Structure 1
Amino acid sequence: MLDLGRTFLQSVERNPNALAIVDGDVELTYSQWYARIGRVAAGLRSLGLERGDRLIVVLQNRWEMATLHWACQFAGIVIVPVNWRAKPEELDHTIIDAGARVVIYEPASADAVITSEAARTTTRIGLDDVEGATRSFEQLMATQEQGAAALAPQPAASADDYSVMLYTSGTTGLAKGVPRRHRHERAAALAHVAQNLYRRGERTLGVMPLYHTMGVRSLLAMALIDGVFVCVRRWNASFALHSIAKYGITCLYLVPTLYHDLLAAPEFARTEIGSITKLGFAGAPMNDGLLKRCSAAFRPELFVNHYGSSEVYTFSVDQDATKKPGSAGRAGINTRLRIVTLDASSSGALARTGEEGQIIAELAGDEAFEGYWKRPDANARAIREGWYFTGDTGYLDADGDLYVTGRVDDMIISGGENISPVDIESILSLHPAVDEVAVVGLKDERWGQRVVAFIKRSCAVEATALDEFCRTSDLVNFKRPREYIFVNAIPKSPVGKILRRKLSSGEYAPENSADGVEETDKNA
């Protein structure tokens, strides 16, 4: 298989004058971008970085970030992208764990870098005259090598070299490094192109952060098809809509939260969105209400629900997300999936059709990682008999389609019954007064846990009305929320995942009204 440097060269050779990347006033063709990538690769080598070394990058989605990603692929350096909102202690852990000697950052991430003790021991490359840098990004790009090597870099990596190391969110302890080889990344990008039916010259919004697997996939996929990557440094629905119209965006790949924001933006109704023919979402389930609204608003030719992770990019894909709302489809083209019982210790303990269990994926797949970075303890928990135990719960229906119901840790056990939050959220999302919803289990002396729905309202509604809505739905009685808490916002991660642990621990802002918390009849 080709390495990623050669993959980029394919587009340069096929379509040198095609537009490749946009970031504000910066618009570069493939040949122009290739030249800048060469200058950055030369600069990285001038710092003493060699094939296999790790480089920490703490940047938003800007042309420099995308360029650094490709420069590392050519130079054989392993890029380690970090959330630009990371705290100093998180950055400390990543720098030490990855063994990195160079950090590249910008004003948005400066506080963490300047405060990080580990960062003080590194060479610090700064953008936009940021405080604390030992060298500027402009100086890095000004580095010259002998001959034309800087302008025409040749791939120094093989398909078996590491390309990128993504760090998981670390919601239950220290974040874990997920090293992925060039061949893993290229296979995942090829699958992304195939499963989203991308054609040559597609244009996408570079919204999903490039420290996240979804963002990296969008970047690589566009290069595979001579496409255009339009940078969105920080999410803003109005700016995104403006970019869609200005650049004729043809495909979107977002988390559900961002689709919600687009539809809610005042400019949406007057924005020309007809160029968009393909929608894709991942990162979290899309509730039934939002699914229907997106389908009606965009009328896409293809609406893809993609389910995956940093470890195994694609678990499953549904190319017609509205046909069976909630379904994540079937295993991707590079993947084998199974559902095992919730208490399974073996990959052979299969759950029955319709029985909720843990989702596992075979690591022999082309997109799958091989293990966590220097974490044998994590490998022992997650990898068994050549299968990756995802920690996600789900079931297969009679047709063989996968339904993802949540995380093993999110399962609510009330009165001895296992209750998935996703089922309840899907029902409540269909109520016209519910803007957003998240369901968690809170401690209860009698039931162990009681089902609680946190609601962000779009208009006035009482808990009794929502309870009646659930009673008249297909939701079984024991799953009905016993309490409704009305909040100003549902807490989410930077990539749109609901942070249930914050709701459970009381880290939320209730509505400023007397009816912020309402209980329903627990015994009904």
Structure 2
Amino acid sequence: MTARTLLHRARNEAIAARTLRRAGMIRGTPRALVVGVAAVARLGPFGGLPAYCTAVHRGAVAIVDDRGAVTFDEFAARTHRLANALRAALSSEGTQPSIGILCRNHADALVTLCAAAAAGARVVLLGADFGPTQVEVVAARERLDAIVYDQEFAAAVAGFDGRRWCAWYDGAIPPDALERLVEQGAATAPPRPEHAASLVILTSGSSGMPKGAPRAEPRTLMLTAGLLERIPLRGGERVLLSAPVFHGWGLLVAMLTLMLGSTLVLHRRFDATRALTALTQQRCAAFIAVPTMIRRMLDLGDAVDAADLSALRIVASGGARLEGALVTHAADVFGPVLHNLYGSTEAAYISIATPTDLADAPDCAGRPTLGTVVRIADGRGRSEPVGIEGRILVRTPAQIEAYTDGTTRSGADGFLDTGDRGHLDARGRLHVSGRSDSMIVSGGENVFPEEVELVLLTHPAIADAAVTPVDDEEFGQRLRAYVVRGTGSLDEGAVRAHVAAELPRSRMPRDIVFVDALPRGASGKVLRHTLDELKESHA
């Protein structure tokens, strides 16, 4: 690094430290802080988190899930028992163990993550949408030694020939219950691990088999401070985390909430009515979700209007595109509390739109966060001016260098190609128009399916929609729209009239197909195999 770069980095780290102090993260007695920081220094940010939290936030409730409440003391003791048991069960001299986690949102998913990190493991977060094929391919590629899973995923992991432990089950305790392993470990904090823990977060797999995005545990304050600077989470509150903890968005908020001494409220499966009840009864200050979850809650209509949400300061969306119509609707119902985070598995988060940003420009993704640089480039890599659309290139404090298969999307200048297209406006806000790799050329026109999807979702009688390209003998490719009817009357003519009123003729889908449902993954994106099956059935 040049002297100028080092100075700039030091300045940003100082800003980050001040932000964390204002957020209430640096708290507790001097002795408690020394004990907590020492645990993090010995076991790493994830592995040392439980010991830090129990030292600084002793006695407070850490997590409320479908099984009940877990205090920070219980969280630390259970994590240390599991870490010591994992060290004994997977010990192999000179070899770093690799552990996969296939769990929904519950306390033991986070206990397993922190315990595996404290044991010096390489942790791979598997998606709840995985079937046997995805598990088999990822397990082989990432060389998994063990998988911790929920009972509902038993069929998906049945072919895995490594160690397996069941974290969540209903009914009788299974022979491979994680609880049995926890009981074998000592409650004392484990020693410094032989290997530094690392984390692999998988891409969404929307364009094929998920890739592994490896990252060392964070060694910069900018990763946490950049988010807290825009999304004002604070200590001593309750946070309903509905976004999945196995994706970067949910995982980051989970760790920040615990570090702040707040309480995580977790449900294994999202249900809008239950989530609304939790917001009111638990007096949650924040609701962390993906766009589909926010839309489903707003669909409750009068129930939301009648609910006491006076404690709700933050509704934060991430993981998928947030369309302008949903932004406006959410602001009308919840008030000026909506935040929109834009990021990727490879780059972590990139920009965050505050309620002020969204009031002025509902379709924006906000401004780049602390330490992040965004550049809009043309096809030759040259920077585009304000207002001109191009490829979105970023350089962030937490971006990966390469995938686990060795491929990379970063250039020699350190900028990572997000795979998205967009532009910056005069106020420095980023606007994302769609995926670069999903653009099609239809009759000589460049068309982005996401642009049409967003317009379809603004129709009051459309509950859901997905737009995909299909081959066309005359035009090369054309768009096909799969539409789920909501309330009210809706036919093909109404759909076409709605699109025609908003977009040029070249964006009109040639095919309008009505379907009963469009299953979405935990991140809020329509599942790839769903679109493949629909495409085949309507060929």
TM-score, scaled to structure 1: 0.85
Q: Deviations over 1:16-51 (max 9, x none)?
A: 122111113421221221111111111111213478
How many angstroms does 1:251 deviate by?
A: 0.9
Distance 1:136 1:426 in 2: 44
Corresponding position: 1:141 with 2:182: yes
Aligned positions of 1:458-469 closer than 5 A? 458=486, 459-469=488-498
Is the 8 Å Cα contact of residues 353 and 365 (structure 2) preserved in structure 1? yes
2:112 to 24, 47, 68: 68
**Structure 1, gaps ≥5 residues long:** 511-516, 518-524
Query: 1:37 — aligned with what?
Result: 79
Distance 1:39 1:81, change over 3 A: same
What letter corresponds to residue 125 of structure 1 in structure 2? Answer: W
Q: Deviations over 1:414-465 (max 9, x none)?
A: 2212122333333333332222233333333333233443322222123333
2:138 to 81, 91, 94: 94
Distance 1:353 1:137, change over 3 A: same
Distance 2:371 2:284 in 1: 28
Query: 1:17 — aligned with what?
Result: 59
Determine which structure has the larger helix proportion and give its number.
2
Aligned positions of 1:160-199 closer than 5 A? 161-183=196-218, 187-199=222-234
Distance 1:446 1:214, change over 3 A: same
What letter corresponds to residue 402 of structure 2 in structure 1? Answer: G
Distance 1:456 1:89, change over 3 A: closer
2:517 to 489, 493, 497: 489
Q: Deviations over 1:207-262 (max 9, x none)?
A: 22222112211211112211111121122222222222222211122111111111
Corresponding position: 1:436 with 2:464: yes
What letter corresponds to residue 398 of structure 2 in structure 1? Answer: E
Q: Residue 458 of structure 2 aligns to a residue in which SS?
A: coil
Q: Deviations over 1:297-351 (max 9, x none)?
A: 1114x3211111111111111113232021112212131111112x34xxx4223
Distance 1:388 1:303, change over 3 A: same
What letter corresponds to residue 318 of structure 2 in structure 1? Answer: A
Aligned positions of 1:395-434 closer than 5 A? 395-434=423-462
Corresponding position: 1:292 with 2:328: yes
How many angstroms does 1:358 deviate by?
A: 1.6
Moved more, 319-328 or 265-274: 265-274
Query: 2:188 — aligned with what?
Result: 151
Is the 8 Å Cα contact of residues 285 and 326 (structure 1) preserved in structure 2? no
Query: 2:36 — aligned with what?
Result: none
Distance 1:230 1:413, change over 3 A: same
Distance 1:270 1:509 in 2: 43
Q: Residue 124 of structure 2 aligns to a residue in which SS?
A: strand
Moved more, 310-319 or 496-505: 496-505
Query: 1:47 — aligned with what?
Result: 89
Distance 1:509 1:228 in 2: 46
What's the % identity of the aligned pairs?
27
How many angstroms does 1:479 deviate by?
A: 2.6
Corresponding position: 1:277 with 2:344: no
Distance 1:172 1:24, change over 3 A: closer
How many angstroms does 1:489 deviate by?
A: 2.2
Distance 2:173 2:155 in 1: 10
Is the 8 Å Cα contact of residues 84 and 108 (structure 1) preserved in structure 2? no
Is the 8 Å Cα contact of residues 56 and 81 (structure 1) preserved in structure 2? yes
How many angstroms does 1:68 deviate by?
A: 0.9
**Structure 2, gaps ≥5 residues long:** 1-39
Distance 1:455 1:84, change over 3 A: closer
Q: Deviations over 1:392-430 (max 9, x none)?
A: 122223433211112122213222121223333333333
Distance 2:120 2:528 in 1: 39
What letter corresponds to residue 16 of structure 1 in structure 2? Answer: R
Query: 1:324 — aligned with what?
Result: 361
Is the 8 Å Cα contact of residues 65 and 267 (structure 2) preserved in structure 1? yes
Q: Deviations over 1:60-109 (max 9, x none)?
A: 21211111112223332222121244222211222222222222223111
Q: Deviations over 1:116-166 (max 9, x none)?
A: 1xx22x122234389997643122111244xxxx234466489xx343111
Moved more, 228-237 or 440-449: 440-449
Is the 8 Å Cα contact of residues 440 and 504 (structure 1) preserved in structure 2? no
TM-score, scaled to structure 2: 0.83
Moved more, 173-182 or 326-335: 173-182
Corresponding position: 1:367 with 2:407: no
